[in-house]
């Protein structure tokens, strides 16, 4: 694309500068805080801290809620994407409208809307009371947090899945049907494996923000449910203990890196299949 | 080779931009300004306009929502502020860490004249010689309750452990404010440092947790106004705002005792506009200005000239707006308990929240 290597480097510099200043320098600062104690000496105490009871509990709760909401997103998104990619009707405009539009709105606002809906005297309970049904006590429960996560992150599952499903060559499916595969067999042996990369990147894109969120749990959990994101926020903001906060953030990053490694593995193995 | 040169050029450009930014910031500082760091929504904007008009000093205002978010920004020297408005125990912590400078009371005639002596005396619990702080707002902490949904006046903190009010209780979401409640029930000091007593207080909060609807900070106002909960632990200033919006609610200070808190103006050690900072603090103590701020905020003021100037009779006569502070004589104010004790409190609170 660029005539010389020099040109290419020139065009690369803005990004490299950006990455350097806003990704590597902060990461280095975090690592520095994570591996030192208050007097500046090397320590691993900030990491073992994660196994202290309160922190470990918060971490496990975060993993559990993030897993639950990822699974729910997958279950909701997959059939939806199958319908949307059905070539019988062209629904791509609807997809972009329904799933990209909410992304333009501030997620804080979306979550606060859910607060209004799920509150004790909220919209949902008012509707239930109108029909003389018992109240649903959802606000400040894990369920409320999962609802918030699914609502916020569903588009990140739908979009990659939709892309990978719509990329499947329809002739392959026709061939499978021609060769006598039933609908179910076509799905399990053809469509599902080919959509796997989309599903995996969807899972990553939902699981990681769900694992690290602290806004959704703060707004919908009423401060009664502490996720690891809230703990880290507390350590930085209320506790003024940046070393602990940084140590916990690094632990969280291990989860993220593992998740990304899994994604990368699926991506490369898929490419190999295609090459063969 | 070529790429190396380009890289060097970029570094140079970057460095130049940085120095550019710095020099422009310096220019601004030499202007007639004062950098103020205060609680969110703690000053009527009209007052700032008036100050700029009268003195020609431009106010640059930043806001914080907790003492704890404010502290590191000032302590790390990330930003230089001239005037700050911390609470009692935080003033003490900042004095202890040499972050404040003594005030020149010759430049603060309005403060000496209008701020009640009793408040300066109460402030001695965190500023022993009244050298550093000028009280700006004060108040208590109590229970705000829906009069239509309780049988008796909940004038004891123990009502927050009453199973009748399951899922109808709002508690404050901060270590000191939360632990203050069980400590008072136990008849202990809110500045308790005995770990065994503190652990008992923590266990009480854990026992209470299933009854609590939510741990809240500023949201408490909205939640009570809309009737989400029957009762909540609130600061007296918020109480007045809630009552004006929803007359069903009333405010009571429990008989076991409460926190007598004072937010004060202080000047930082590194302040660059010391004279302007004094002018700003003095302006805030002027009765006509204090009354504007009071009407806007609803927090009780230590400025003794304000009650006479208040125009709204209902508010002027309200014991919640202008409580007789003498009934709170002997009530405690939070003290700074040292770094490791602070951490112990935070850790206890974390243990309550993950249960």
Provide the terminal-to-terminal Cα distance of chain A, rounded to the nearest Å: 29
Q: Which residues of B70-80 are buried (b: 16+ CB within 10 A; e: fewer)?
A: bbeebeeeeee
Residue A131's pLDDT band (cuts 50, 70, 90): very high
Judged by a CB distance cut-off of 8 A, whether residue A240 touches chain B is yes
How much is the pLDDT for A273? 53
From chain A, pick out residues whose CB is under 8 angstroms from the CB of B174: 238
- Which CATH superfamily hosts domain B31-137+262-323? Periplasmic binding protein-like II (3.40.190.10)
Residue A121 within a domain:
yes
* Average pLDDT over every residue of B323-349: 89
The reply to whether residue A240 touches residue B72, judged by beta carbons under 8 angstroms, is yes
A238: nearest CB among B212, B346, B351: B346
Nearest to A13 by CA among B10, B13, B5: B10
pLDDT exceeds cutoff 50 at B97: yes
How much is the pLDDT for B19? 45
For residue B87, report the phi and psi dihedrals to the nearest 5 degrees: -85, 170
Domain of A170, in residue numbers: 58-275
How much is the pLDDT for B23? 43
pLDDT exceeds cutoff 60 at A261: yes
Domain harbouring A205, CATH code: 1.10.3720.10
CA distance A78 to A200: 12
Nearest to B92 by CA among B123, B61, B69: B123
Judged by a CB distance cut-off of 8 A, whether residue B56 touches chain A is no
The reply to whether residue B71 touches residue A240, judged by beta carbons under 8 angstroms, is yes
The reply to whether residue A6 touches residue B6, judged by beta carbons under 8 angstroms, is yes
From chain A, pick out residues whose CB is under 8 angstroms from the CB of B16: none
pLDDT exceeds cutoff 80 at B328: yes
B2: nearest CB among A6, A238, A240: A6
Chain B: closest CA distance from residue A220 (Å):
10
Nearest to B145 by CA among B247, B43, B60: B247
Chain B: closest CA distance from residue A230 (Å):
10
Domain segments of chain B: what residues? 31-137+262-323, 141-259+334-354
Torsion angle in degrees (nearest 10) through CA of A32, A35, A40, A45 = 150
Model confidence, pTM: 0.84
Question: CB-based burial of residue A275 (10 Å sphere; 0-12 exposed, 13-18 middle, 19+ buried)?
Answer: exposed
How much is the pLDDT for B329? 80
CA distance B143 to A4: 73
pLDDT exceeds cutoff 80 at B24: no
B354: nearest CB among A9, A54, A140: A54
* Average pLDDT over every residue of B32-48: 93
Question: CB-based burial of residue B134 (10 Å sphere; 0-12 exposed, 13-18 middle, 19+ buried)?
Answer: buried
What residues have CB less than 8 Å from B28, skipping those under 6 apart? none
* Average pLDDT over every residue of A217-226: 91
Any idea which residue has 């502020």 for tokens? B81
How much is the pLDDT for A10? 87
Q: At what angle do helices A192-212 and A228-237 cross, to 10 degrees?
A: 30
How much is the pLDDT for B40? 86
Instruction: Please state whether B338 falls in left (phi above 0), alpha (psi between -120 and 50) or beta.
Output: left
The reply to whether residue A224 touches residue B66, judged by beta carbons under 8 angstroms, is no
Judged by a CB distance cut-off of 8 A, whether residue B15 touches chain A is no
How much is the pLDDT for B242? 92
Supply the mean pLDDT for chain B.
Answer: 88
Residue A245 within a domain:
yes
- Chain B, nearest residue to A60 by Cα: B354
Pick among A8, A239, A242, A244 to test the B interface (most B CBs inside 10 A): A239
- Which CATH superfamily hosts domain B141-259+334-354? Periplasmic binding protein-like II (3.40.190.10)
The reply to whether residue A120 touches residue B2, judged by beta carbons under 8 angstroms, is no
Q: What is the pLDDT of residues A15-40, one digit of tens each?
A: 999 999 999 999 999 999 999 988 88
- Over pLDDT 90: what percentage of chain A? 54
* Average pLDDT over every residue of B218-234: 92
Chain B: closest CA distance from residue A260 (Å):
28
- Chain A, nearest residue to B76 by Cα: A240
- Over pLDDT 70: what percentage of chain A? 95
Q: What is the pLDDT of residues A81-104, one digit of tens each?
A: 888 887 666 777 777 788 888 888
pLDDT exceeds cutoff 70 at B25: no
Q: How many CB pairs under 8 A join A and B?
A: 78
Nearest to B235 by CA among B214, B264, B206, B260: B260
- The residues that bridge with B137 in the sheet, in sequence order, are B263
Nearest to A156 by CA among A191, A198, A193: A198
Q: What share of chain B is helix, strand, coil (3-state, %, to 5)?
A: 50, 15, 35
B6: nearest CB among A10, A61, A239: A10
* Both tokens assigned to B203: 């266990």
Judged by a CB distance cut-off of 8 A, whether residue A223 touches chain B is yes
The reply to whether residue B68 touches residue A137, judged by beta carbons under 8 angstroms, is no
* Average pLDDT over every residue of A232-236: 88
What residues have CB less than 8 Å from B279, skipping those under 6 apart? B34, B55, B57, B107
Q: What is the pLDDT of residues B278-297, one digit of tens each?
A: 999 999 999 999 999 998 88
* Average pLDDT over every residue of A138-164: 93
Cα dist. B25→B18, B56, B75, B152 in Å?
A: 11, 19, 20, 59
The reply to whether residue B354 touches residue A5, judged by beta carbons under 8 angstroms, is no
- The residues that bridge with B36 in the sheet, in sequence order, are B61, B83
Pick among B149, B178, B353, B355 to test the A interface (most A CBs inside 10 A): B353
Domain count, chain A: 1
* Average pLDDT over every residue of B180-186: 96
Of the listed ranges A25-29, A43-47, A84-88, B327-331, the least confidently predicted one is: A84-88
């Amino acid at each position: 694309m660029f005539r010389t290597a020099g040109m290419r480097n020139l065009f690369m510099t803005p990004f490299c500068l950006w990455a350097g200043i806003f990704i590597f320098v902060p990461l280095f600062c975090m690592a520095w805080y994570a591996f030192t104690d208050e007097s500046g000496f090397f320590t691993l105490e900030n990491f073992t801290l994660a196994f202290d009871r309160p922190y470990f509990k918060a971490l496990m709760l975060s993993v559990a809620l993030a897993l639950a909401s990822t699974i729910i997103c997958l279950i909701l998104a997959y059939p939806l994407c199958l319908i949307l990619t059905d070539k019988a009707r062209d629904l791509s405009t609807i997809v972009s409208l329904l799933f990209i539009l909410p992304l333009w709105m501030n997620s804080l606002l979306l979550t606060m809307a859910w607060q209004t809906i799920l509150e004790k005297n909220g919209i949902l309970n008012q509707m239930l009371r109108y029909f003389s049904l018992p109240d649903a006590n959802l606000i400040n429960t894990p369920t409320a947090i999962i609802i918030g996560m699914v609502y916020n992150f569903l588009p990140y599952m739908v979009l990659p899945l939709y892309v990978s499903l719509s990329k499947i060559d329809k002739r392959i499916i026709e061939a499978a049907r021609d060769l006598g595969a039933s609908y179910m067999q076509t799905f399990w042996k053809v469509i599902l494996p080919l959509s796997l990369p989309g599903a995996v990147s969807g899972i990553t894109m939902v699981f990681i923000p769900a694992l690290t969120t602290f806004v959704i749990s703060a707004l919908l959990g009423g401060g009664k449910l502490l996720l690891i994101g809230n703990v880290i926020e507390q350590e930085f903001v209320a506790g003024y203990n940046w070393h602990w906060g940084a140590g916990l953030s690094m632990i969280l990053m291990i989860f993220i890196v593992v998740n990304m490694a899994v994604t990368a593995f699926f991506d490369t193995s898929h490419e190999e299949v295609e090459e063969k | 080779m070529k790429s190396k040169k380009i890289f060097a050029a970029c570094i140079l450009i970057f460095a130049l931009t940085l120095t550019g930014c710095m020099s422009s910031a310096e220019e601004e500082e030499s202007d007639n300004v004062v950098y103020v760091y205060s609680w969110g929504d703690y000053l009527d904007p009209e007052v700032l306009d008036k100050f700029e008009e009268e003195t020609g000093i431009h106010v640059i205002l930043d806001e914080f929502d907790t003492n704890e978010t404010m502290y590191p920004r000032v302590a790390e020297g990330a930003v230089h502020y001239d005037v700050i408005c911390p609470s009692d125990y935080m003033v003490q912590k900042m004095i202890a860490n040499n972050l404040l400078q003594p005030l020149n009371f010759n430049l603060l005639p309005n403060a000496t004249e209008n701020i009640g002596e009793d408040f300066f005396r109460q402030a001695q619990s965190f500023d022993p010689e009244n050298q550093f702080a000028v009280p700006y707002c004060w108040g208590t902490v109590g229970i705000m309750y829906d009069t239509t949904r309780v049988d008796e006046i909940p004038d004891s903190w123990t009502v927050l452990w009453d199973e009748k009010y399951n899922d109808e209780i709002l508690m404050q979401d901060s270590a000191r404010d939360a632990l203050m409640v069980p400590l008072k029930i136990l008849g202990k000091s809110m500045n308790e440092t005995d770990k065994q007593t503190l652990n008992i207080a923590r266990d009480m909060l854990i026992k209470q947790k299933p009854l609590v609807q939510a741990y809240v900070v500023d949201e408490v106002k909205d939640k009570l106004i809309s009737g989400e909960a029957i009762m909540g632990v609130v600061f007296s200033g918020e109480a007045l705002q809630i009552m004006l919006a929803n007359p069903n609610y009333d405010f009571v200070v429990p008989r076991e005792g409460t926190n007598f808190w004072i937010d004060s103006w202080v000047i930082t050690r590194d302040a660059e506009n010391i004279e302007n900072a004094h002018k700003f603090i003095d302006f805030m103590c002027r009765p006509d200005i204090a009354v504007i701020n009071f009407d806007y905020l609803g927090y009780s003021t230590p400025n003794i000239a304000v009650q006479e100037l208040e125009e709204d009779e209902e508010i002027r006569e309200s014991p919640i707006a202008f409580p007789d502070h003498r009934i709170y004589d002997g009530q405690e104010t939070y003290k700074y308990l040292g770094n490791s004790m602070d951490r112990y409190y935070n850790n206890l609170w974390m243990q309550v929240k993950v249960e």
